[in-house]
Amino acid sequence: MLDSEMKENVRWGILGPGRIAESFARDVVQVEGCVLQAVASRDVERARAFAERHGAEIAYGDYAEMLADEAVDVVYVATPHAFHAEQIRMCLEAGKPVLCEKPVTISPDDLRPLIALAEEKKLFFMEGLWSRFSPAWRQARRWIDEGRIGTSRHLTASFGFRGPKDPENRLLNPSLGGGALWDVGIYTLAFATTMLGTQVEETAVQARFGGTGVDEDASMMLRFAGGAVAQLFCSVNTQTRHEATIEGDEGRIVFPPDFWRPESVELITPKATDERCFLDTPPGFQLEIAHVRDALRDRLLQSPVIPLAESLLWQEIIYPWVRRFPDFN
């Protein structure tokens, strides 16, 4: 349970001080009511250097040691996907609420028991997919709910980038959960379920496999209840424009690049003057971090913005396709 001190400040611990943890640590100290308490790495020197750069109180050279620290209120897991399930379990077993980077796991069979464990322990648990907090995503969803584009028929989203060529890199290495679907496809999928809902009736995936056997480019097609169709593309090999659109029978909503971190969104209808909203969006993780702070203070066990049922749906959509891929084991 949360101690009284947390009412003052939510004290974060970071597990896995790598690339994305750098951005998270820079943002966590910008959020009122949050402090960076601790960081844990397998390498104590890496933890110390990270703690020094970001002003963390304490650096650990062992994850379990940080999880035993009573001064840590919540843990941010920021390791490659393949380690998430085991590390989330460690956090929950140690009594710590968890925010884990996307994709939360790489199989629905890994996620289900973790959801049950969090429930049993009465601990907050959430997948971190920060685009979901984007004010532009929320504005688009409001327009859809208000009927401004009529009935949604067609959604597109594309997220591809030229990733590293090193076959050991987590993006290409199958044993680290490599591939485009898990890394960036999940943003396009989250965009689709944000805008069209979670009643997905059918999915299909086509992919191109690179030399390491992972999906370097993949295209998903989804059909939603009501008949709307989503066409999604992701790549860790090819730069795309990162655009996204939702087309309805009375108008459309257009996201500029980069749809996964937009500062504006446009509504185009034949009836009204086009509306373009520029939204005051803090860069990075700040809205997600503030959301977790509030959820902990309100003693929520799940996020209403990214419910675990939706995380499970994303797992259930991607996993069956990934496991068909040539080098899956």
Ligand X SMILES: NC(=O)c1ccc[n+]([C@@H]2O[C@H](COP(=O)([O-])OP(=O)(O)OC[C@H]3O[C@@H](n4cnc5c(N)ncnc54)[C@H](OP(=O)(O)O)[C@@H]3O)[C@@H](O)[C@H]2O)c1
Residues that bind ligand X (CB under 6 A): 16-20, 41-43, 46, 78-81, 83, 101-102, 130, 170, 176, 183
Work out how close the CB of 20 gets to ligand X at its nearest, in angstroms, rounded to a whole number. 4
Work out how close the CB of 139 gets to ligand X at its nearest, in angstroms, rounded to a whole number. 21
Q: Residue 53: enclosing H or E segment and its boundaries?
A: helix 44-54
For ligand X, the closer of residues 170 and 291 by Cβ is 170
Work out how close the CB of 153 gets to ligand X at its nearest, in angstroms, rounded to a whole number. 30
Q: Give the other-Cβ count within 10 Å of 87's Cβ.
A: 19
Instruction: Give percent helix, percent strand, percent coil of the chain, each to the nearest 5.
Output: 35, 25, 40
For ligand X, the closer of residues 183 and 247 by Cβ is 183
CA distance readout (Å), 68 to 34, 64, 108: 20, 6, 28
Work out how close the CB of 158 gets to ligand X at its nearest, in angstroms, rounded to a whole number. 17
* Cα–Cα dist 134/205, whole Å: 27
Number of residue whose CB is nearest ligand X? 18
> Which tokens hold the place of 31?
């959020």
Work out how close the CB of 69 gets to ligand X at its nearest, in angstroms, rounded to a whole number. 16
For ligand X, the closer of residues 88 and 149 by Cβ is 88
- CB proximity list for 326: less than 8 A, separation 6 or greater: 209, 213
Q: Name the burial class of residue 19, with classes exposed (0-12), middle (13-18) and buried (19+) by CB atoms within 10 angstroms of its CB.
A: exposed
**Residues 81 and 182 sit within 8 Å (Cβ to Cβ):** yes
For ligand X, the closer of residues 251 and 262 by Cβ is 262
**Residues 289 and 111 sit within 8 Å (Cβ to Cβ):** no
- CB proximity list for 56: less than 8 A, separation 6 or greater: 14, 25, 36, 37, 38, 39, 50
φ/ψ of residue 177, rounded to 5: 80, 30
For ligand X, the closer of residues 42 and 299 by Cβ is 42
Question: Residue 46's closest CA among 6, 79, 75, 72?
Answer: 79
For ligand X, the closer of residues 102 and 293 by Cβ is 102
Work out how close the CB of 43 gets to ligand X at its nearest, in angstroms, rounded to a whole number. 5
Work out how close the CB of 191 gets to ligand X at its nearest, in angstroms, rounded to a whole number. 14
For ligand X, the closer of residues 164 and 320 by Cβ is 164
